[in-house]
Structure 1
């Protein structure tokens, strides 16, 4: 069978052809001594333009761009038989110089060193706990990375291993800090500071958690704190495009209205949130942790930090805890990033909406005012409008 050799065809660069011809002409004048027969100088490399790059939501298998000048990043792959960059996840395209990456709409939390996370104990082993922190792999909490009752600083022995369930057991909620990240992506946690430890006297809320970007998740996740009494109640959130903002203050106290007192809010970067009653003893210990010597630490750390019994919480405080949880749900469902400012603004807006609703309703219909803390429908839209006015 005969083989036909086709002549080379010049690549059509479109708007860049004129620039290339001019550069060739200028170079040929300056290098007139060089004989250019049978070959041409390489064309000037065209500048990168985004007109051929897909915009909006990219679906898996969709070609992001055919331009060979771009390099592929996370969420993409290259066909070996072509120069096309194809998306592997559904998300939006992000450009960093020549690098193209697709940030997924739905993703799991990626641990980073120093992140404050809220997790649930799912497995107890001989020297460590396995913690669910909404990451692809379970995190590890070693026995050597917690505070012993009484503030004892010593090596963990076999006696401590036998009593490992007295500290944390399956189903307990903990707040911890990411100490290290292994090669496989799993995280190692620690609770050595008095600001961390077992969570109780509050409500667990699961929202998106990719450190500021959205992660929609239609499943409802809810849970309760350890113990049989108190304000523990299962609350779930259907997440939207918002998320917990990274590099912001994650723990603060809200002075609630309607006699609710102070309420603590813990925003885990992984998207797990804890809203609880403010405990004076824990607040004093956490505020003075940095200035406490090792000798005085044993006076502040007691076995109560591993207690599974909730305190008595008045109905007013429970009501305000539920209001804060619903304010966070309104923000997440509307795609607003969750941080201290947005949560506080939404809470203040909900109080203002209550005053507006109270003016419209009759005082005789008390049964209609019992559910005023329920923020859905038009009330949620009004809360969001008032909260966004402060930004």
Structure 2
């Protein structure tokens, strides 16, 4: 319920409270043995157990210092907070915004306690050729990214000074255009094997950033420059045709239908975030389908009634999945 600033009628309030209470009962039964609040005692079997984050030792007892779920790894006991700030891990897919173009690097804001750095040597050049970066490349950095550009990258690691470094050495990384950037609490985005999604039926690309920044934009085909170069070398006719004036693809405006789908998907994510639900592809697609089945306009998805409908749908979905088990 945090962040919802809507005027609910008495009936809508009752329906929403009922759905949220049902969802809370499911989660409490699932984690009844592991969920703790501040000052709860944590049972520890071994005296040699290691006390990790979120725990305090008071006398002979180990108590929780945060609200969360008790996790055990060998002898280590710690509490994973239910709501926490983003903590980068190597390999995380993140979405950020360029705030500074510095010598041989770009500085990005990624919804973290400090900014991230993308080095010129840690990304593919526009020509796709693997070579050493020269002074000319450094002078042309603004032709690649400038301030306020939205970028998708991967966490490479931490340097000795504590700075977070990124890398974009794949065709799927780079500048994001023709879309909408959303910011939600990072704990609502779970780390998964796949964070890039192409919604073919809507012509939309969806990127879930582990840092809580989500990109919804028009689908763009990723082309491998190295493969295209090999094809052009093997077929001189392709090289000739691609060099003709006017043959290169020029950027066009995003069609109205795709723009509406982008806004519809973005509103579905906004509603899920406002209700405090975990954001994933299946739940977002179900919410978009619900809005279409109700013949709701894009702006009507942000009204109080649709928030109640989404909460009721989520409660019904979890209830159905529980019966199947």
TM-score normalized by the length of structure 2: 0.70
Question: 1:376: which partner in 2?
Answer: 303
SS in 2 for 1:374: helix
Of the two, which has the highest radius of gyration? 1
- For residue 129 of structure 1, report the CA deviation from its aligned partner: 1.4
SS in 2 for 1:180: strand
Match of 1:72 among 51, 59, 84: 51
Question: 1:292: which partner in 2?
Answer: 227
Match of 2:197 among 252, 269, 279: 252
- For residue 278 of structure 1, report the CA deviation from its aligned partner: 1.6
Q: Tell me, yes or no, if the aligned pair for 1:265 and 1:273 is still in contact at 8 Å.
A: yes
Question: 2:108: which partner in 1?
Answer: 131
Kindly tell me the number of residue pairs found equivalent between the two proteins.
268
Q: Give the gaps of 5 or more residues in structure 1.
A: 1-52, 215-242, 300-308, 358-369
For 1:93 and 1:151, the matched residues in 2 are separated by 46
For 1:207 and 1:73, the matched residues in 2 are separated by 28
Question: 1:161: which partner in 2?
Answer: 138
Q: Are 1:330 and 2:243 counterparts?
A: no
Q: CA RMSD in A?
A: 3.3
- For residue 86 of structure 1, report the CA deviation from its aligned partner: 5.2
For 1:73 and 1:297, the matched residues in 2 are separated by 57
Q: Tell me, yes or no, if the aligned pair for 1:249 and 1:340 is still in contact at 8 Å.
A: no
Answer 1 or 2: which has greater helix percent.
2
TM-score normalized by the length of structure 1: 0.60
Mark the CA change 1:135 to 1:310 in structure 2 (over 3 Å): closer, same or farther.
Answer: farther
Q: Are 1:152 and 2:99 counterparts?
A: no
Q: Give the gaps of 5 or more residues in structure 2.
A: 1-32, 234-238, 240-249
Q: Tell me, yes or no, if the aligned pair for 2:153 and 2:174 is still in contact at 8 Å.
A: yes
Answer 1 or 2: which has greater strand percent.
2
Question: 1:57: which partner in 2?
Answer: 37
Question: 1:35: which partner in 2?
Answer: none
- For residue 199 of structure 1, report the CA deviation from its aligned partner: 0.8
How far does the alpha carbon of each residue in 1:164-194 deviate from its partner, in whole angstroms, 9 at most, with x for none? 2222122211001122344666432111211
Match of 1:94 among 70, 84, 101: 70
- For residue 347 of structure 1, report the CA deviation from its aligned partner: 1.4
Question: 2:171: which partner in 1?
Answer: 194
- For residue 135 of structure 1, report the CA deviation from its aligned partner: 2.6
How far does the alpha carbon of each residue in 1:176-222 deviate from its partner, in whole angstroms, 9 at most, with x for none? 1122344666432111211111111000001122xxxx3xxxxxxxx
For 1:208 and 1:101, the matched residues in 2 are separated by 22
Aligned 1:1-391 pairs, distance under 5 A: 56-58=36-38, 62=39, 64=41, 69=47, 70-78=49-57, 82-85=59-62, 87-88=64-65, 90-96=66-72, 98-182=75-159, 186-209=163-186, 214=187, 243-256=188-201, 261-279=202-220, 283-285=221-223, 292=227, 311-354=252-295, 373-386=300-313, 389=317, 391=321
For 2:288 and 2:209, the matched residues in 1 are separated by 19
For 1:106 and 1:337, the matched residues in 2 are separated by 12
Higher relative contact order (CA 8 A, sep 6+): 2
